[in-house]
């Protein structure tokens, strides 16, 4: 929901800035707004990928490893 509000705000801000420069400049404000939207989406995508990679690394490190038990260890486990 926050992204939708941000996008609407950027569209309105771009329209205001564009019309403040010139009446027909609203069409110049739209590409600027689209660049901001692309930057927001790109940043969120990178954050999401970073979280996914961090989770994969954690799972890989937490994976069980095979251990060779010595005779004392085997006696302790058998008791």
CB–CB of 26/19 below 8 Å? yes
Cα dihedral value 21, 26, 31, 35, nearest 10: 70
Contacts (Cβ under 8 Å, ≥6 apart) of 13 = 33
pLDDT of residue 50: 96
Task: Please tell me which residue, 78 or 52, carries the higher pLDDT value.
Answer: 52
User: Which tens digit of pLDDT belongs to each residue from 19-73?
Assistant: 776 666 666 677 878 888 888 899 999 999 999 999 999 999 888 788 777 777 7
**Ranges of each domain in the chain:** 2-61
């Amino acid at each position: 929901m926050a992204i939708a509000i941000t996008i609407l705000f950027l569209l309105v801000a771009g329209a205001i800035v564009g019309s403040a420069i010139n009446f027909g400049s609203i069409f110049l404000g739209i590409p600027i707004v689209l660049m901001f939207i692309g930057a927001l989406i790109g940043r969120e995508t990178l954050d999401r990928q970073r979280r996914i990679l961090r989770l994969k690394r954690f799972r890989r490190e937490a994976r069980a490893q095979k251990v060779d038990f010595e005779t004392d260890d085997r006696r302790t486990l058998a008791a």
